[in-house]
Structure 1
Amino acid sequence: MNETLRIERRTDRVTAVLDRPEKRNAIDQRTIDALHGLCAELEAEPRTLILTGAGGDFAAGADIAQLRARRADDAHRAINASAFIRIAELPMPVIAALDGYALGGGAELAYAADIRIATPALRIGNPETSLGIMAAAGATWRLPEIVGAGRAAELLLTGRILRAEEARDWGLVSALHPAEHLLDAAHALADRIAGNDPLATRHTKLALRAPRSEHPDIEKTLQAELFENPEKERRMTAFLERKEAR
């Protein structure tokens, strides 16, 4: 068991808790290794993933002591970026439940999720340039997709940290919940996802993540497969029967 990532497994979902509260859950190499292991599990057995942090923070960034020691070869290895890409490309949805600090690499991990919710205590942003580096684990291309090019440029070039209400207003998080209800809200989202057809959910995520150049062809291909899936017939028949019974 890797103590930096605490995992709870259910039939239809996995909850992974970043668990270095004494370091505000700073993402170190052990955490990255654990995330790769979790991705391998969820690639083989797709389930919704809920990501959150222990001790009132999501992740206050990458581990600076380890980051300071990295050199050019480490940058080319894309240590954090490779794990976050794998998180983003998981077959089923990823929900990030954010509290407290989500900074630097912690913010970039959150950007890799499909859905982000938070508490009013959230502080999120990318102060990397103040440390002599850049946000290189997805922020420069994921953040413009989420909040738009202008706002992403402002955040990344100034290093400004957003408070929760502004993050919600910008669409960086979709909802705010009291800290004591944050995980319940994440599980409520997972419950709604679990009630839908898993293949339709997976195909919808594929289409959402596809580059613009692949649309509308990708929808035609994925929908064609769903139209031939017996689950479509079953669910639509049940819907019509419920409607007739009213």
Structure 2
Amino acid sequence: MTDSLHVEEQDDRMVVTLDRPERRNAIDQAMVDALHAVCERLEREPRILILTGSDGVFASGADIAELRERTAADAANGINDTIFSRIAALPMPVIAALDGYALGGGAELAYAADLRVGTPRLRIGNPETGLGIIAAAGALWRLPQLVGLPLATELVLTGRVLTGEEALAAGLVSDLFAPGELLTGAHALADRIAANDPLATRLTKQVLREPAERHPAAEREAQAVLFESPEKRRRMTQFLERRSRR
């Protein structure tokens, strides 16, 4: 798609590799623009998205050379948080496959995914205050949802970086794989999702993200749609027929 992303397309998923190895996959404006183009495709043609990085690094952060020159007007435009929120809102699940550094904006991109897997050599965290800024692209509200407020507070105030094992213990990643098996593990997770009804999967993701005051109305509305779905009848009939043959 661009020099900064490598895109592999399959019928039920898209694998997007951040590919700026000379900058440890730092997220610059060109990469942000390319990710918007990916989102446009996946909004029109919903599929699972697997996000990963090249050369044993997910993303070392935002591109500091660009970030240093940004102004208050750029902050108001929310360049990175806009694309991360768009990725989080994609119709189908997003899996982040994390190896090596996932720092600053790279960590915030990972937090925007629905599911995260990693390797033992993963290093993930938000050292932004050491650079004179805050983690303004999702860490200050997504990270507490993922690991709880006490740990999130420690991480963003101290800049402590978690190892892969620490991220697993905190529930920030759901599994660890050897680096050579990371994408295989991510695809196995995608396979389990893809085996389910896509409409039920999309509505499950949608309802999961509804605010508290929308429950249980959101579940009832989604279930009403699914109860009228031919796929629901087909899958349940198939289940009953299998059980009757036992």
TM-score tier by shorter-chain length is over 0.9
Q: Which residue of 2 aligns with 1:154?
A: 154
Alignment-derived partner of residue 5 in structure 2: 5
- Tell me the amino acid that sits aligned with residue 93 of structure 2: P
Distance across 1 between alignment mates of 2:61 and 2:195: 34
Equivalent-residue separation in structure 2 for 1:106 and 1:211 (angstroms): 26
Gaps of 5+ in 1: none
- Give, in whole Å, the separation in 2 of the partners of 1:187 and 1:50: 8
In 2, the alpha carbon distance for the partners of 1:113 and 1:129 equals: 23
Cα deviation code 1:123-181 (max 9, x no counterpart)? 00000000000000001110011001111111111110001111000000000000111
Quote the offset at 1:212 in angstroms. Answer: 1.4
Structure 2: runs of 5 or more not aligned: none
* Cα deviation 1:95-146 (Å, max 9, x = unaligned): 0000000000000000000000000000000000000000000011100110
Aligned twin of 1:139 = 139
Q: 1:23 maps to which residue?
A: 23
Which residue pairs with 2:48 in the alignment? 48
1: CA distance between counterparts of 2:59 and 2:27?
7
State the Cα RMSD in Å: 0.5
Q: Counterpart of 1:37?
A: 37
Cα distance in 2 for partners of 1:239, 1:132 equals: 57
Q: Distance in 2 between matches of 1:110 and 1:211?
A: 21
SS at match of 2:49: strand
User: Residue 237 of structure 1 aligns to which amino acid in structure 2?
Assistant: T
Runs of 4+ deviating beyond 4 Å: none
C-alpha deviation, 1:191, in angstroms: 0.9
Separation of aligned partners in 1, 2:237 and 2:90: 30
Residue 243 (str. 1) matches residue 226 (str. 2) = no
Shift of 1:209: 1.2
Distance in 2 (CA, whole Å) between partners of 1:26 and 1:119 is 19
Correspondence list, 1:105-116, <5 A? 105-116=105-116
Whole-Å Cα distance in 2 between the matches of residues 212 and 143 of structure 1? Answer: 18
Match of 2:62 in 1: 62
TM-fit CA distance, 1:52: 0.1
Shift of 1:76: 0.3
- Give, in whole Å, the separation in 2 of the partners of 1:48 and 1:205: 12
Identity %: 65
* TM-aligned CA deviation for residue 203 of structure 1: 0.4
SS at match of 2:121: coil
Map of 1:218 onto structure 2: 218
2:55 partner SS: coil
Is the aligned partner of 1:129 residue 2:99? Answer: no
SS at match of 2:16: strand
TM-score of the pair, normalised by structure 2: 0.99
Q: What displacement does 1:208 show?
A: 1.1
**Residues 93-104 of structure 1 correspond to what in structure 2 (within 5 A)?**
93-104=93-104
Matched, 1:169 2:146: no
Q: Counterpart of 2:191?
A: 191
One-letter amino acid matched to 1:14: M
Q: Tell me by how many angstroms 1:215 deviates.
A: 1.1
CA positional deviation for 1:210: 1.3
Superposed displacement of residue 22, structure 1: 1.2
Q: Separation in 2 of the partners of 1:139 and 1:89?
A: 16
Question: What code does the residue aligned with 1:145 have?
Answer: Q
When normalised by structure 1's length, the TM-score is 0.99
Deviation at 1:62, TM superposition (A): 0.2
